[in-house]
């Protein structure tokens, strides 16, 4: 029996930040879209929207204005970062559209259009980022003003230590105090997702406020590990502030990340409402290109087997962690289309002899080379397929971890790839 067949204009492979963003931007333009991939990676996402804060990597220069850093990067022709292929106004439009999406979805974020913000981390450092969840913004202000602040920790939740935050920041922030209390409910061990769901119950918040209030004293703000609810974090945050009478903020900590899970759930709900066909947790081995143009993807087995025929594909499968790239003894390979990967000459050149070298490791720059239309190149330097585009961390010539540009890279290149698909495949402008 032949498999049933479904059709779409655009197939997005990969459901991390880049893939979800590409599906969002495409659906916003009325493009028939299908999305396939494993969503587990979003649970490792801090929830912070980095745009750019470090450049050049070797110097470790931290930029207050991310757009100035991007302008400087674009002038450096020795390393063609994907940002250099996107006009600044397009990048700003992508970020603006993404922020509007989050706000309309009930997951409000705060940005300063021309400045990075400093967020308190669970290791007691300040991290520069562009977009901050509303539940963390009071921490940005408290850090900036060094006002009296109380950091609350729970021994049941592993991976977060209020003492570490206080001891690391204490010299520069003497008015920072710590408080370790038992989480309401008598738990021995509490996982982040379980704690976040408990916080959605009013009796839990009421009891927690009763415990914290006697220790509040002169604190102008109170910080908690980032477990203030999953589906209704804004309501949980607002209620705690009302009960404590001071601003409340979350501090991101080790995965699994609740802010990342919130984004994943918003994406899944909103993409479905926008008519995107989603196939989460479905494996993809290869996607054949058709002689007549477009691509054909086989999904499932037996009676559940069907095919998706698409006019074009955006590849956003990430790097090694999400299996978009695979490192083997003979080299690094791309796993879906067997595209050539820009990479160190051999295995001995992949890593710096100094593990903590500020310049990083060459393997972190590995990925797909693209043309100005975000089409991956073949070994001759030409587009491998006229209707194949790429976005996100699978792209070469960027070290998103050290440059602090992960989310911005995913969002802006997804936007650019959708625009390229519309112009190159559908044959019209936005």
- Answer yes or no: are the C-beta atoms of 366 and 344 closer than 8 Å: yes
pLDDT tens digits, 143-158: 999 999 999 999 999 8
CATH number of the domain where residue 237 is located: 3.40.50.1860
Q: Are residues 15 and 95 in the same domain?
A: yes
Quick check: helix, strand or coil at residue 77?
Answer: coil
Q: Are residues 86 and 157 in the same domain?
A: no
Mean pLDDT, to the nearest integer, of 78-94? 93
Q: Are residues 266 and 411 in the same domain?
A: yes
Q: Are residues 313 and 400 in the same domain?
A: yes
Residue 430 neighbours by CB under 8 Å, 6+ apart: 29, 419, 422
pLDDT tens digits, 100-143: 999 999 999 999 999 999 999 999 999 999 999 999 999 999 99
346 within domain boundaries:
no
How many domains is the chain partitioned into structurally? 2
Helix (H) or strand (E) holding 73: helix 66-75
Q: Are residues 44 and 70 in the same domain?
A: yes
Of 427, 420, 428, 430, the residue nearest 313 (C-alpha) = 420
Q: Are residues 142 and 224 in the same domain?
A: yes
pLDDT at residue 430 greater than cutoff 70? no
Of 40, 75, 68, the residue nearest 52 (C-alpha) = 68
Angle ∠(147,152,157) on CA atoms, nearest 5: 150
Cis geometry, peptide bond prior to residue 56 (ω within 30 degrees of 0): yes
341 within domain boundaries:
no
Look at phi and psi of residue 95 and say left if phi exceeds 0, alpha if psi is from -120 to 50, else beta: alpha
324 within domain boundaries:
no
165 within domain boundaries:
yes
Residue 237 structural domain: 122-251
Q: Of the candidates 233, 251, 269, which is a domain's last residue?
A: 251
Mean pLDDT, to the nearest integer, of 390-394? 98
Q: Are residues 410 and 267 in the same domain?
A: yes
Residue 113 neighbours by CB under 8 Å, 6+ apart: none
The pair of structure tokens assigned to 41 is: 């990676």
Using a cut of 0.75, tell me whether the model's pTM lies above it: yes
Residue 305 neighbours by CB under 8 Å, 6+ apart: 3, 298, 299
pLDDT tens digits, 226-244: 999 999 999 999 999 999 9
Q: Are residues 403 and 280 in the same domain?
A: yes
Alpha-carbon span 42 to 271, nearest angstrom:
15
pLDDT at residue 427 greater than cutoff 60? yes
Q: Of the candidates 251, 275, 300, which is a domain's last residue?
A: 251
CATH number of the domain where residue 306 is located: 3.50.50.60
Q: Of the candidates 224, 251, 278, which is a domain's last residue?
A: 251
User: Are β-strands 248-251 and 295-299 bridged in parallel, bridged antiparallel, or unpaired?
Assistant: unpaired
């Amino acid at each position: 029996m032949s498999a049933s067949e479904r059709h779409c204009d655009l197939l997005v492979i990969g459901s991390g930040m880049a893939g979800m963003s590409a599906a969002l931007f495409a659906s916003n333009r009325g493009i028939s879209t299908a999305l396939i991939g494993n969503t587990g990676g979003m649970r490792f996402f801090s929830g912070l929207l980095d745009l750019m804060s470090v450049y050049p990597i070797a110097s470790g220069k931290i930029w207050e204005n991310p757009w100035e850093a991007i302008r400087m990067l674009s002038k450096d022709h020795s390393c063609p970062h994907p940002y250099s292929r996107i006009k600044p106004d397009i990048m700003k439009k992508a970020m603006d559209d993404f922020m509007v999406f989050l706000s309309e979805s009930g997951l409000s974020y705060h940005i300063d259009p021309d400045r990075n913000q400093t967020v308190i981390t669970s290791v007691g450092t300040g991290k520069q980022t562009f977009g901050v969840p509303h539940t963390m913004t009071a921490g940005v202000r408290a850090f900036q003003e060094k006002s009296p602040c109380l950091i609350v920790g729970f021994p049941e939740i592993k991976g977060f230590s209020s003492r570490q935050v206080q001891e690391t920041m204490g010299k520069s922030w003497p008015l920072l105090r710590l408080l370790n209390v038992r989480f309401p409910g008598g738990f021995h061990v509490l996982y982040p997702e379980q704690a976040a769901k408990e916080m959605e119950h009013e009796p839990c918040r009421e009891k927690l406020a009763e415990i914290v209030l006697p220790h509040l004293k002169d604190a102008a703000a109170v910080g908690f590990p980032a477990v203030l609810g999953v589906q209704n974090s804004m309501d949980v945050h607002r209620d705690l502030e009302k009960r404590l009478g001071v601003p409340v903020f979350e501090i991101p900590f080790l995965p699994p990340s609740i802010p990342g899970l919130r984004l994943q759930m918003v994406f899944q709900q909103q993409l479905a409402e926008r008519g995107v066909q989603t196939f989460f947790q479905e494996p993809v081995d290869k996607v054949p290109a058709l002689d007549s143009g477009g691509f054909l993807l086989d999904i499932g087995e037996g009676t559940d087997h069907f095919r998706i025929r698409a006019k074009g594909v955006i590849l956003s499968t990430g790097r090694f962690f999400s299996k978009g790239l695979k490192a083997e003894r003979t080299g690094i390979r791309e796993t879906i289309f067997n595209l050539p990967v820009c990479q160190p000459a051999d295995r001995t050149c992949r890593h710096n002899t100094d593990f903590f070298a500020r310049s990083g490791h060459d393997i972190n720059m590995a990925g797909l080379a693209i043309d100005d239309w975000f089409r991956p190149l073949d070994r001759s330097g030409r587009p491998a397929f006229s209707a194949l585009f790429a976005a996100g961390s699978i792209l070469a010539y960027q070290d998103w971890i050290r440059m602090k540009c992960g989310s911005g890279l995913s969002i802006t290149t997804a936007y650019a790839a959708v625009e390229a698909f519309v112009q190159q495949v559908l044959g019209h402008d936005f």
